[in-house]
Amino acid sequence: MAAAFVAAWVVSTATLGVGVFLALGVTRLADAVLPTALAAVAGVALTLAQVATLLVSGLVAAVLVTFLVLSAEESAALAGSADDDDAPASGPAPAPAPPAPTPGPAPAPRWRRPALVAAVAVVTVAATALNVASMERVDEAGRTAVIAHRGLTTGAVENTIASLEAAAATGATYVELDVQQAADGGLVVVHDTTLLRIAGVNRSVFELTRGELTALTISQRGFTDRIPTFDEFAARAAELDVPLLVELKTHGREQGDYLGDVLAVLEEHGLVRESLVQAFDAPLFAEVNTRFPEVQAGWVVAFQRGRLDPAGADFVTMEQSSYTTRALEQAHGADARLFLWTVTNTASMRQHMRDGVDGLITGSVVAAVEERERVAAETGFAGRLEDELRSVVAWW
């Protein structure tokens, strides 16, 4: 039975692999010679792959269950034989009782098989229609913004001038950064509210002045740097002509007009019109909308289920695990853009770009720019189908 299970798994995997290969081959052929039927061909191919996955997984599951049942029966039989051998003899064994007659299986109702076939057909047709619609959903290629998460951190410390310059060199659409207020009201670019992770100092940002913070040596993955002021960061961004995505990072000890000071820096360096401002804190986001209506303001949503209400935001930044195409439709229906963070998987990048997600916040900036170019260059459905098939059989 173990050999049968392995054989079933190998045969099923090979069959599924051949099916995926044929599906992609047919779609690529349609890309070349039958462009009017591309979406239909790709949708049908995806449905067939889904059905094949269910069938082969069912076969392997059936072999495994049979193996387990037979093993259990064999163990029970061996245990019963052992009990018989250990039992003391007490006279002749009684004659075995005649077996009770076993009734034959009840005939299945005549309607059951046609009803099952009809149900399978309806589900298959519905799945095909959904898959075709998914394939047809092709948005403007290459429009998804690539947003460097705290700059480009593969060769620099996060949220530093060096990470800003590196991100600008890759062609990132925006550079995301975090702005906090120091003890003296100065603004610095740093993510954590404590300095232990990047500076090895167990102090909070609000305990130190701007001068004390910028004098610290920070390190990450073998690179060292210093915390920049927001003014320094914005000035360099203006020189590089790189728009910013400014996250208002509050620690609860703000003094004076924190929001006004942040916007004043953007205004001073001519970055208000092109840059974006976002906040987790709903009242702070609402204040941006009220006091600075000319600013493109976003609301950060860490976890989202159910209907997405942008609440007047120009854009919503959503954690990737909460993303659905329905949320994207709801954001666009409210005239809001949808950004996702933190996206690092290249297949996910391509899928989100094809869906028309407005921006991807990522630490893999170079890969995201390359994938955006790849998606923009697509002329058919083979690439989209390949990613869909990969997701269908990924668990296998």
Q: State pLDDT tens for residues 217-262.
A: 999 999 999 999 999 999 999 999 999 999 999 999 999 999 999 9
pLDDT at 141: 47
Question: Rounded to whole angstroms, how far apart are CA atoms 271 and 92?
Answer: 102
Question: Rounded to whole angstroms, how far apart are CA atoms 116 and 132?
Answer: 24
Per residue of the chain (396 residues), give pLDDT as tens: 677 667 766 776 676 677 666 666 666 666 666 655 556 666 666 676 666 666 666 656 666 667 677 777 677 777 666 655 655 555 565 566 666 665 655 665 665 667 666 666 666 666 566 555 555 555 444 589 999 999 999 999 999 999 999 999 999 999 999 999 999 999 999 999 999 999 999 999 999 999 999 999 999 999 999 999 999 999 999 999 999 999 999 999 999 999 999 999 999 999 999 999 999 998 999 999 999 999 999 999 988 888 999 999 999 999 999 999 999 999 999 999 999 999 999 999 999 999 999 999 999 999 999 999 998 887 666 666 667 666 655 544
Cα torsion through 40, 41, 43, 44, rounded to 10 = 110
User: Strands, DSSP E only, in the chain?
Assistant: 145-149, 174-181, 187-189, 217-220, 223-226, 244-248, 276-279, 296-301, 315-319, 337-341, 359-362
Q: pTM, whole model, 2 decimals?
A: 0.70
**What is the CATH T-level fold of the domain 145-188+228-377, as seen in this structure?**
TIM Barrel (3.20.20)
For tokens 């059951």, name the residue.
112
Domain ranges of the chain: 1-81+114-140+379-396, 145-188+228-377
Please check whether residue 361 is in contact with residue 394, taking contact to mean a CB–CB distance below 8 angstroms: no
DSSP structure class, residue 228: P
Rounded to a whole number of angstroms, the distance between the first and last alpha carbons of the chain is: 21
